[in-house]
Amino acid sequence: EVQLVESGGGLVQPGGSLRLSCAASGFTFSSYAMTWVRQAPGKGLQWVSVISGRTGSTDYADSVKGRFTISRDNSKNTLYLQMNSLRADDTAVYYCAKGARAEAGIRDPLSSWGQGTLVTVSS
Amino acid sequence: DIQMTQSPSSLSASVRDRVTITCQASQDIGKYLNWYQHKPGKAPELLIYDASNLETGVPSRFSGSGSGTDFTFTISSLQPEDIATYYCQQYDNPPYTFGQGTNLEIK
């Protein structure tokens, strides 16, 4: 059974940094693209970033480009999101999600999702 | 970036009703369109991928159609457990944008 468990959320001041983690199990982690999606309070889903399985190619939403960095450690079956220069509008529940197809690259539906971790940016 | 315009933003229907949601892309995305269901406090779930393919384990009352810029999501007979917010998502070109969501309620 696929399991994705996010951690690392919390309260941070504007301008601060936070690193989210997503521990994966139940599948061959290195074969699948992984994505971060967020949902601000009362808002819809917003795609944040993606990383491919083996080559590590990445892409980002314009709103986080230059501030957030997605990475993965295939030896630890873990996905990361390093968030710097945080702003109030980064406040959201952050979900990690697994691509649907092995070796598909970043262009892939999101077939499994974690429960999310809440990031609150406030002074 | 590709904009996804989803309508309606909210919808109230009765059990056993046929429900339809539409999604329009700002440019041609072929069939690179997914539909997700999101219930409060739960992880979102993939229902339909590549515009019309039913994800494994998803009930057959859910379906999708369309290509290019215009897409439709249908629940053939609404059930109480279908109360959720539904999102379309394009994955033709990054950023892989979502529609704004449709909040579905039981009348």
What pLDDT, in 10s, does the model give residues B8-60?
999 999 999 999 999 999 999 999 999 999 999 999 999 999 999 999 999 99
Partners of residue B34 in chain A, C-beta under 8 Å: 109-110
Chain B contacts to A (CB-CB under 8 A):
1, 32, 34, 36, 38, 42-46, 49-50, 55, 85, 87, 89, 91-92, 94-101
> Is B38–A50 a contact, with Cβ atoms under 8 angstroms apart?
no
CA torsion through residues A63, A80, A94, A35, sign: positive
Token pair of A106 as six digits: 């970043």
Query: What's the pLDDT tens digit per position in A97-115?
Result: 999 999 888 899 999 999 9
> Is B94–A106 a contact, with Cβ atoms under 8 angstroms apart?
yes
| CB-nearest partner of B95 from A62, A107, A114 | A62
Query: What's the pLDDT tens digit per position in A69-94?
Result: 999 999 999 999 999 999 999 999 99
φ/ψ (deg, to 5) at B81: -75, -5
* pLDDT at residue A104, as a whole number: 85
For residue A31, the SS3 value is helix
φ/ψ (deg, to 5) at A88: -55, -35
| Ordered DSSP codes for B26-67 | SS--TT-EEEEEE-TTS--EEEEETTTEEPTT--TTEEEEEE
> Is B49–A116 a contact, with Cβ atoms under 8 angstroms apart?
no
